Amino acid sequence: MSRTLAQPASSTVGRPVPAGRRTSAAHRRRTLTVFALLSPALLGLAIFFVYPLIASVYYSFTRYDLVSPPDWIGLRNYEYLFTQDPKVWIATLNTLWFVVFLVPIKIFFALGIAGLLVRAKRASGVWRTVFYLPALVPPVASVVAFVFLFNPATGPVNQILGVFGIQGPLWFNDPAWSKPSLVLLGIWVMGDIMIIFLAALLDVPREQYEAASLDGANGLQQLRYVTFPSITPVLMFAVITGVIAALQYFTEAAVASGVANGKAVVGEGTGANLGYPGNSLLTYTQWLYVRGFNTYQLGYASALAVLLFVVASIFLIALLRRFKAFTPEGTA
């Protein structure tokens, strides 16, 4: 009788759960928690980056004017871009000029000012505030102020130069001086990068400088072998963000063209004034804007945007692979 009332052999009640099954369940719960926390960011990335990117690639192969349905035309937009567009190469060269000159000059001055502020013994907080404040000025306001300051007839800059017997240039009204004038503006508003360099320089261990000094290293050698290796990731961040901003350079050049040309308002009908003087300030994104929102050639504007995205991606990937500054292996 006792044998017939025994527990069935297939029952698992009271048996311990295998360790591998517990680990798998815990890993699944952690994965679901991570995806739940990341879901707002992933949703925003899909809506505001992935979908516009895919849509731009599709429209770049079409003729589209916002009114009629997109008409598939294959590679004709790209063929026109590379072989027939009269201004795209002018805009490209102007944009590359800002990448080559504006980015390194701005970084050089920001790093130099940060280095001086690190060594300041008195009123360092005041000087940091003074050099950072211009970065808080809205870009449009700073450009308008600069154009008036550098006005060749009434601006105080040329008047001060005249006191010393120097004939000031036409600045924003001269194709040869318009881009250097914007570089001066970029140096003036370098506070955002300067404050990052300042934090990085303050984080360099003082013991390394003392050890280098005991080994007989001079100032340049300490800069080369102590400072630069310690702030390389910050330098790379400044270069990458600076290049991206230069490739998308729009507001400063557009406002400078409008104000210098006597058009203080940027809006409808001002596309023809972009690039003044003599197309010297016509950047790639301005030409994209003209094609997309002045002539409503949205298919061709999408082709311009896709090409800009590809060029920027290739440049940034090459830069990261070259320096490997954001990986522990690269900084070791």
- How many other CB atoms sit within 10 Å of the CB of residue 155? 18
Average pLDDT over residues 149-164: 91
CB of 168 closer than 8 Å to CB of 160: no
pLDDT band at residue 1 using 50, 70 and 90 as cut-offs: very low
More confident of the two residues 330 and 151: 151
Q: Does pLDDT of 138 surpass 80?
A: yes
Residue 179 near residue 94, CB atoms below 8 Å? yes
Rama region for 21: left / alpha / beta (φ>0; ψ in -120 to 50; rest): alpha
Q: What is the spatial distance between Cα 169 and Cα 156, in angstroms, rounded to a whole number?
A: 13
d(CA 297, CA 319): 33
The percent of residues in the chain predicted with pLDDT above 90, rounded, is 62
Which tokens hold the place of 123?
């009123």
pLDDT for 163: 92
| Contacts with 214 (C-beta within 8 Å, 6 or more apart), sequence order | none
Separation CA 45–CA 297 (nearest Å)? 26
Q: Which of 7-11, 231-235, 300-304 has the lowest mean pLDDT?
A: 7-11
CB 282 within 8 A of CB 91: yes
63 dihedral zone (left: phi>0; alpha: psi -120 to 50; beta): beta
3 state DSSP class of 313 = helix
Token couple for 95: 């944009």
pLDDT tens track for 301-332: 999 999 999 999 998 888 888 776 555 555 44
Residue 46 vs residue 24, higher pLDDT = 46
**Has residue 231 got a pLDDT over 60?**
yes
Mean per-residue pLDDT, 227-251: 91
Q: What is the pLDDT of residues 187-227, one digit of tens each?
A: 999 999 999 999 999 999 989 888 998 988 888 899 889 99
The pLDDT score that the predictor gives to residue 321 is 82
State residue 244's pLDDT score. 92
pLDDT beyond 80 at 5:
no
Q: Burial level of 288, CB count in 10 A (0-12/13-18/19+)?
A: buried
Mean pLDDT of the chain: 87
> How sure is the predictor about 9, in pLDDT bands with cuts at 50, 70 and 90?
very low
Q: Six-digit token pair at 255?
A: 């406002």
Task: Note the pLDDT of residue 157.
Answer: 93
Q: Which of 129-138, 294-303, 323-332 is least confident? A: 323-332
Task: Work out the average pLDDT over 102-112.
Answer: 95
This prediction has a pTM of 0.83
DSSP 16: P
Q: Are 193 and 242 in contact (CB under 8 A)?
A: yes
Worst-scoring range by mean pLDDT, 42-56, 173-187, 191-205, 257-271? 257-271
- The 3-state DSSP class for residue 152 equals coil
